[in-house]
Structure 1
C-alpha cells in the first residue's frame, strides 16, 4: 500500500494539529483516528516506544518496507528503505519533512520531534526481498537517517542488514551522517562480499560551529571523517557527500576544499556535492535559520527559491565545475550523476578494496561507458513511480 495515499485528519486524538505545514492546510482538532486512512491510520495504531529530549517515539505498523524511487531527472531507478519516519538530527535544510504530512503532522518541527519506528522491518524485508531482481539497486536512508540515535536501541537498520547479508547479487547504497554505522562494520564487510555496496557519509561542512547550528543533533564533522577512515580501513567503498551546497555559505571554493581535503585524508572513495534543494515543507525552517544566522543572505534566498525548489541550471553548472576542480586537485573520485546509490561512484582512491568492491568503475572512462549503457531502454520493473522525490 502506498504511503502517499493518506488523507486528511489528525494523527492522535490528543494532538491538536491546528498548524499549517507544507501543504498549506489546517487540520481539524475534532478529527479522530477512525476518519484516517492509509499510512496515517497505521500510524494512529502504533504504540508508544519511549521518549528522548523533546522527542517522542512511536511504532509504525507498516505493511511494506520497500518503496519505489526515481531521480528527479530520471537518471536512475531504485528501491528505497527507510526504517524510520522522522529524523532526530534536525537538519535545517532537510527535504524529507513533507513525509510527516502523510501522517497528518503538518508542523515541520514534528519531523524531528515525533519519530516513528517501522515495526517488524526485518521480517517484512525477508518477505519482500524475493521480489528484487539480480543487480537491482536498493537505497537505505533516502528520507531519514538509518543510523539516527534511536537505532542504538531499536536496531531496525541492523536487522535489515542481517537480511541482506544472507542474500547475493544486489547493489546496495547507504546514506548517513552518523558514526553509529561503525557498529555494523562486520555486517557491512560481509554484505560487500555478496553485493555491490557503496556507503555515503554526508558531511556538509568541515566547520564544526556551522555544523552545530545547521545540523544540531548530528555528529561533529571531524567524527564523521573519522568514520569514513574506519570504513575504508575495513576495505569498504565509502565516500563523502558535501551536500547540500548552501548559496553564499558553503558553495565557495574555500568551504568545499575544506571538506575535500579532509575527505582525501580519510581516503574517501569519492567526493560529490549538489546544490540545496529547498522544498516548500523545509523552506520556512531553513529561511528562519538564514534569518537568524545569515540575515544578509535572506533576500537572495527568497529570490532564488521564490518559484522553484531547485537552483538555476547556470548555478548548477558552476557548482559542477567547482566540484570538478576540487576533486581533481585533491585526487578524489567523483560522481558523474545525481545517483545516491552504487552507480557512477568514480575511481577508487586507493587499491584497498574488497574483491567485489574493486570491480566498481575503476576508471572515469569506464564509469562514462557504463553511464551511456545505462541510458539504453530497460524493462520497466516498477509501478507507481514517484517522480521528483524519494519515497519514505
Structure 2
C-alpha cells in the first residue's frame, strides 16, 4: 500500500473538555484510517525532541514518531505512555496508534538544542518502523531531516525489517553522522517470538536486516532485551543468538534483563500465568514491589554476554561506538546457567 499523507490536524478542542495536555490532544486527534483492528490517528504535539534525564540511559535525547505500538510485545515497558492520554496500557496501547503530525518541521526547529556528543535515540517508547510507518512515513520524514545535518550521534531501535526501506536515507545519515541501528531480538525461536511479540517480524528477518545494513555501510547490531528468566535466558539460547549475530555480520550485541513497570506487569504477569504457569509464582515474587531484577542476576547476565562476545568475535555497543571498555571477565569463568529461577520452560 502506498504511503498516505497525514490528514490535517483538528484545530478546535472539544467544548467543555476537562482533559488537559496530551490527553486533550489525543481526544481531539484526527481519525486517519483503520486496519486489522487498529485505529490510526494523527496528533499534534508541541515538541518532537525530548530530553532524557534518567542517569542510567546512555542517550540525552529521544524521538518517538508514534504513540502506541502495534507489535503488542507482552513485556513492553512503554505502555505507560498511553496512560498520559487517558487511554489503557493494554489493548489501547496496541490498537490505538497516534502518528505525530508535522514531525520533520518540528525537528528542524529543535535540533539546535542538541550539544556535540549528545546522543539522540529514535524509538525508545514506540517502534518507529511498526506497520503504521508503511502507511504514514512519519519516521521517514524524521530520517530525511536528520540526513540534512552532520555531526550528530543517533541511535535507532526497532524490531522491524521495514527499516530497510529507508536504507538510502540511513546511508546518507551515516556518511556525515555517527549512526547505529539497533535491531531487537529476544529469541531465535520463531514460535516463542510469536507469543512474546505477536505482531513483530520474525527474528530471522531482523537478523537479515542487520546483515544488509552493515553490508551497505550502516552500522547495525542486536539488542537482546529483555532477557526473561526461565524463558529466554538459558546459556544455549544466548549462545545461539550471539552466534547468529556474528554469522549475520552484526557489529555488536548487548543484553538487558526484564524490567517491569506496574503497567507492564499488569500485562506480562497474566501472560506468564497462561503460557508459563510453572514460572508464574516465581515471577510474582521477583517483581513484587520492584521493577528490576536483583544485581546478582544482572551481573551474571553481563558476564555471560561478555564471554559469548569474546568467543564469537562480537563486541559490545560501547566498544562499537568507541566508548569506554567493559570490565574484563575472568577467562577461567565457567559456563553457568543464569539461575534466578529453578526451572526453564516452554509454553504449555
Q: Give the TM-score, by structure 2 length.
A: 0.87
Q: Which aligned pairs between 1:7-26 and structure 2 lie closer than 5 A?
A: none
Task: Note if contact 2:58-2:119 (Cα within 8 Å) is conserved in structure 1.
Answer: no
Task: Note if contact 2:79-2:89 (Cα within 8 Å) is conserved in structure 1.
Answer: no
SS at match of 1:169: coil
Task: Note if contact 1:45-1:61 (Cα within 8 Å) is conserved in structure 2.
Answer: no
Alignment match of 2:324 (pick from 367, 371, 377): 367
The Cα offsets for residues 302-337 of structure 1, whole Å up to 9 and x where unpaired, read as 0000010000011111111111121111111113xx
Deviation at 1:33, TM superposition (A): 6.6
Task: Note if contact 1:79-1:139 (Cα within 8 Å) is conserved in structure 2.
Answer: yes
Aligned to 2:251: 269
Asked if 1:238 is matched to 2:195, the reply is: no
Aligned to 2:179: 197
Aligned to 1:142: 124
Alignment match of 1:327 (pick from 302, 309, 327): 309
Q: CA RMSD in A?
A: 1.6
Alignment match of 2:148 (pick from 147, 153, 166): 166
The Cα offsets for residues 96-122 of structure 1, whole Å up to 9 and x where unpaired, read as 000001000135221001100111101
SS at match of 2:104: helix
Task: Note if contact 1:228-1:239 (Cα within 8 Å) is conserved in structure 2.
Answer: yes
SS at match of 2:131: coil
Aligned length: 314
Decide which moves more: 131-140 or 40-49: 131-140
Gaps of 5+ in 2: 1-12, 327-348
Distance (whole Å) between structure 1 residues aligned to residue 46 and residue 16 of structure 2:
18
Deviation at 1:136, TM superposition (A): 2.3
Deviation at 1:52, TM superposition (A): 1.3
Task: Note if contact 2:23-2:84 (Cα within 8 Å) is conserved in structure 1.
Answer: yes
Distance (whole Å) between structure 2 residues aligned to residue 258 and residue 76 of structure 1:
27
The Cα offsets for residues 29-54 of structure 1, whole Å up to 9 and x where unpaired, read as xxx87101111111112110101112
Alignment match of 1:228 (pick from 188, 204, 210): 210
Asked if 1:217 is matched to 2:174, the reply is: no
SS at match of 2:120: strand
Aligned to 2:109: 127
Task: Note if contact 2:42-2:100 (Cα within 8 Å) is conserved in structure 1.
Answer: yes
Aligned to 1:303: 285
The Cα offsets for residues 234-292 of structure 1, whole Å up to 9 and x where unpaired, read as 02110001110001111111111121111111110101010000110010211121111
The Cα offsets for residues 147-198 of structure 1, whole Å up to 9 and x where unpaired, read as 0011011100100011111111110000000000001110111101111001
Deviation at 1:211, TM superposition (A): 0.3
Task: Note if contact 1:70-1:77 (Cα within 8 Å) is conserved in structure 2.
Answer: no
Decide which moves more: 182-191 or 130-139: 130-139
SS at match of 1:167: coil
Alignment match of 2:46 (pick from 41, 63, 71): 63
Distance (whole Å) between structure 2 residues aligned to residue 131 and residue 317 of structure 1:
36
Gaps of 5+ in 1: 1-11, 14-31, 336-343, 348-359, 370-392
Alignment match of 1:175 (pick from 157, 176, 188): 157
Aligned to 1:101: 83
Asked if 1:80 is matched to 2:37, the reply is: no
Task: Note if contact 1:90-1:217 (Cα within 8 Å) is conserved in structure 2.
Answer: yes
Distance (whole Å) between structure 1 residues aligned to residue 203 and residue 116 of structure 2:
36
The Cα offsets for residues 116-135 of structure 1, whole Å up to 9 and x where unpaired, read as 01111011111112222233
